[in-house]
Structure 1
C-alpha cells in the first residue's frame, strides 16, 4: 500500500478541522439559547467548581444565582444540565408547567440497570400507566385511610418492643427503623409482615441501604458525570448492579409464590393486582404491564417506601439528640433554651410558653401514656408537627429532586432548554429560602409555628418534590413519620453517647440524597 501523499494528509486535516469547527459552532449556538452558566472546561465541564461532598449547597451558593439568575446551566462532564433555583422558578417548572417538565432526566448509574422500566425511571405512556396504577392500588390498600394508620400503629408496637430489647445499651438504629418502615410498604406490596430477625429480609434491606449510600456518595456522583470512564474503573459503584440483582431475585421469588396462590377475584396486595392487570392486557402488545415492569415497579415501591422514611427518622433522632431541649429533657423554663429560638421581632408570651413545652410534654398532655398516638391527635400537637416538618426541611433528604427533563425544546424564562436536557429542580433552594425560613441553616421548629402557637403551613415545604413527579407515597410517609416518632418519644428518652454539642448533624454523604452520619445511641424507658 502506498503511503498517503502530503496533499492528501493536509486535505484530511483541513476537513477534520472544518467538521470540528462546525460541530463547535452548532453547540455554541445551542449554548447561546440555553440559560447562562460558568464556562465549562473540555471533557470535565464544571467539575472543578462542584463539591462532591455537598453538591446541593454548592449549587445554592448566592454567587451562582446572583450571577446567572434563577435558571442556569452547568456541565456535568460533557453533558449540560439546567439547574432551577428558588421557589418561584421551581414552582413555575414543576407545578405551573408540570406536563412539560414531567419527563425523568438521565441518571446513568441507575439507567443502565432499570433501562426505562418501572415507575421511577420510566417516561411517556409507560410511566403514566404504571404511576396511575400504583397510586390507585396504594389507595385501595389503605394509603391515606384509617386502615393503613392501624397497620402503622401495630408496627410501632413491634418497633417499641425491639427498642425495649436493647436494654438501654448502645445500638445503631438504622435497621430497626428500616424494618419498621419497610414492613408498612411490604404489607401493601407483598401482603405480609417480616420479622425483625428474618435474614432474607435484613439482607435485602442491607443492599437497598447500601445502594442509597453509593448513589449519594462521591463515587455515585462521579459515575453519573463520567459514566463511560467509570465503567472501566473499579469501585463501590459497581456493587449497585449486584445489589439490584439480589433485589430482583427477592421480588421474583415473591412474584412466583403469588402466582401459585392468586385468586383474581380477591387480590391481596400490589403484586396480585399487577398480575391480574397483566392477564387482562395479555393481548395488548403495547401494554406496560409486563413481568419486567412488575419487578422494577415493586423494587421502586419497596425502596422508596423504606429508605426515604427510615432515613428521615434516623436523621430526626440524631437531631433530637443534638437539641435535647426540643425532645424535652431539660427544664421547660430554661431561658437559654428559649433564646435559641428567638428571631428578630416581637414574640408573645403565649409563644414563649408554647416553645417551653417541647415535644414530649405535648405528647403527654394530648395523648397521655395509656394509648398510642393517632393521626387525629396531630391537629392538637402543633409543636410536634412543626418539629417533624423542620426535620424534613432541614435535612432536605433528596436535595435536587430526582432529575427531570423536557420532551421537546422548551422556552423557559427567556431561554430555551433543548429537548432531552437534564433538569435539576434544586429543592434545597426552596427549603432553605431565607425570606420564608429565617436563619434557614439553623434547625428551628418555629419555622412552622405562627405567633399564636398554631401550626404554620408553607407552600415552600417541598421535601417530596412537586408536580407530576411528586412522591407517590407522600401521604403514607407523613403518617409514618408522625406516628413512629411520637410513639418513640412517648415511651423513651434518647441518650446520646457524646455531649450534644459534639454531635455532628451535617450529612455524611450528599448528592442524590443527604445521608446522616452513622451513630449509636441508647433509649431509656420513661
Structure 2
C-alpha cells in the first residue's frame, strides 16, 4: 500500500528507474558468492564474466592472479576453474564422486537430451560407459581382432602415402580417413575408400564441430541459449553437423536390424541391439535405439578426431626432430624387424612408447576438460564449492606442471624413461583425463598410435619439404591441433 502511494507521487520515468534499481539490487544480492568461495574477477550483473576470454592461454593469467582455484560467472552460472596436478587430482580422483556428473549443456542437451555417453549421468551413464568400454577392448576375439583391423587399415594408409611419390603433401585427409575407418569398423563394420567424396565431407563436418566446441559462439550459446538458438552463426553449423552425423549413423543402425544374428554380432551396433533385448526390463539403464544413435556419435567423433590429431602431431614432431625419428626406427628394426607389429611388442619398445606418451603430453590435445557438476557441498583447496557449481579442470596445467615434469615446455621423450632407459609411467599423465569419467577410448587410442606409427616408420622416412622448417604452432577449438603442414614420405 505504501509502495503504491509512493509510486503515484512519482512520474513514470522515475518509477521505472527505481523499479529497475530494486531489481538490480536483488540480482546482485542473489548472485553474491557464499563465504569462502574461490576468488575471481568482478562480474557484471546478469552478464557475469561473459567478456572474459578464458582459453588454454589466458587461463594461466587468471591462475597467476587468483591461484590454482578461481571462479567466474557466465550469465547466472557460477564456474570454478581448478589447475595444477594436486588440485585436479583432488577433483577427478580423490573426490571424484562429488564431481562425477555433467551439468546441462544447452546446446548439447538440445541434441543428446541426456542420451549417449558424454552428456549422460547417473545409473544410465554408468551402464552405457561400461558397455562401450567393454566393446572397445573385447569385441570379437579381443585385442587380436583390433590389431588385425588396425594393421589392415595401415596397409591402405601406406599405399595412399606411396602415391605421393616422395613429394610434399598434407597428411590430414589420409590419416583422418584411416583412423575413421578403424573406429567405423568397430562401430558399424564398414570402411570407406580415401577418395569417397561423401565420407570426406562428413569427416570435415565432424572436425568442424569439434573445433567450434571451443569457440566463443558455443560459449555464447551456453550462456544465453534462449537468445542464441534463434540467431544465425557458427553455432547453428555445429548443431546441423551433429544432426547430420546422427542421421548417418541412424541409417547404419537401420541397415543392421534386418540382418542381426544373435550368435554372430559383427560390431558395436549389433552388440548394442542385442543388449537392448537383454535389458528390456531395466528401463533406467536407457538401452534403446535413440541412445544407441548418440552412443555411436560419441564413439565415432571421439575416436576419429582425437586420434587423427594425435597422429598429425606425432608426424610433425618426427619431421621436426629427425634424431628422435632415427632412434624410434632403430628400436623398431631391432625389436620387430620387417614383420607386422603387435601391441605385445610395446613392452620391449621403451623409447617408442615414451615418444607416444610425450606426444600426448606435449600436444595437450584437450587443454580444458569438459565441465563437471558439483553433487554436494565440497571443500577443495580450502575453498567451499557449493552443490550445483559447475567445475572446470585445466588439464594443460597438469601436463605442463613444473612440479611434476623436468622440462614441461620442451618436447622430451625422456619424461617417460628412467635412468636405465626403461619406460616409466607418470602420475601426472592426464592426457585422457582421469577418474571414472576418463576417456573410454584410451585403450583403443594407444593401440592405434603404436601400430600406426611403427608400421609407418617401418615403411617410410619422413622429412619436411625441402627448405621448410616445421612449425609447432597450433590452432585451438575444443581440441588443440597443429596448423596445416606438409611432409615428404620416402619409402625405405
TM-score by length of 2: 0.91
Cα distance, 1:407 vs structure 2: 2.4
Match of residue 379 from structure 1 = 347
SS in 2 for 1:420: coil
SS in 2 for 1:424: strand
Q: Give the 3 Å change call, closer, same or farther, for CA 516–221 of structure 1 in structure 2.
A: farther
Match of residue 376 from structure 2 = 408
Match of residue 176 from structure 1 = 174
**Which runs of 5 or more residues in structure 1 are unaligned?**
329-357
Contact 1:399–1:511 under 8 Å retained in 2: no
Cα distance, 1:60 vs structure 2: 2.8
* Cα deviations by residue, 1:195-246 (Å, 9 ceiling, x for unpaired): 3333443232221112112223444445445545544543323211221222
Q: Is 1:359 aligned with 2:328?
A: yes
**Which runs of 5 or more residues in structure 2 are unaligned?**
1-6
Q: Is 1:39 aligned with 2:5?
A: no
Cα distance, 1:414 vs structure 2: 2.7
Q: Is 1:442 aligned with 2:445?
A: no
Q: Is 1:507 aligned with 2:474?
A: yes
Contact 1:216–1:514 under 8 Å retained in 2: no
Match of residue 365 from structure 2 = 397
Contact 1:398–1:513 under 8 Å retained in 2: yes
Match of residue 350 from structure 1 = none
1:86-485 matches, cutoff 5 A: 86-141=84-139, 145-282=143-280, 285-328=283-326, 358-368=327-337, 370-485=338-453
Q: Give the 3 Å change call, closer, same or farther, for CA 230–15 of structure 1 in structure 2.
A: closer
Return 262-271 or 82-91, whichever deviates more.
Answer: 262-271
Match of residue 70 from structure 1 = 68
Q: Give the 3 Å change call, closer, same or farther, for CA 110–497 of structure 1 in structure 2.
A: farther
1:41-56 matches, cutoff 5 A: 41-42=44-45, 44-50=47-53, 55-56=55-56
Contact 1:143–1:476 under 8 Å retained in 2: no
Return 35-44 or 15-24, whichever deviates more.
Answer: 15-24
Contact 1:144–1:475 under 8 Å retained in 2: no
CA distance in 2, matches of 1:388, 1:36: 38
Cα distance, 1:285 vs structure 2: 5.0
CA distance in 2, matches of 1:190, 1:290: 17
CA distance in 2, matches of 1:145, 1:476: 9
CA distance in 2, matches of 1:93, 1:499: 47
CA distance in 1, matches of 2:275, 2:76: 42
Cα distance, 1:472 vs structure 2: 0.5
SS in 1 for 2:384: strand
Contact 2:90–2:380 under 8 Å retained in 1: no
Contact 1:144–1:476 under 8 Å retained in 2: no
* Cα deviations by residue, 1:57-96 (Å, 9 ceiling, x for unpaired): 32134xx335433221123455321111111111111111
* Cα deviations by residue, 1:154-181 (Å, 9 ceiling, x for unpaired): 2211211121122223322112112222
Contact 1:57–1:428 under 8 Å retained in 2: no
CA distance in 1, matches of 2:332, 2:86: 36
CA distance in 2, matches of 1:230, 1:434: 40
Cα distance, 1:443 vs structure 2: 1.2
SS in 1 for 2:454: helix
Match of residue 27 from structure 2 = 23
Cα distance, 1:284 vs structure 2: 5.4
Return 100-109 or 148-157, whichever deviates more.
Answer: 100-109
CA distance in 2, matches of 1:68, 1:298: 40
Contact 2:98–2:374 under 8 Å retained in 1: yes
Contact 1:105–1:423 under 8 Å retained in 2: no
Contact 1:104–1:403 under 8 Å retained in 2: yes
Cα distance, 1:390 vs structure 2: 0.9
SS in 2 for 1:313: helix
CA distance in 2, matches of 1:319, 1:40: 41
Contact 2:212–2:477 under 8 Å retained in 1: no
CA distance in 1, matches of 2:411, 2:142: 29
Q: Could you list the runs of 4 or more consecutive aligned residues of structure 1 that deviate by over 6 angstroms after TM superposition?
A: none
CA distance in 2, matches of 1:476, 1:292: 25
* Cα deviations by residue, 1:302-332 (Å, 9 ceiling, x for unpaired): 111111111100121122222222212xxxx
CA distance in 2, matches of 1:383, 1:66: 35
TM-score by length of 1: 0.85
CA distance in 2, matches of 1:222, 1:298: 27
Q: Give the 3 Å change call, closer, same or farther, for CA 321–260 of structure 1 in structure 2.
A: same
Cα distance, 1:13 vs structure 2: 5.7
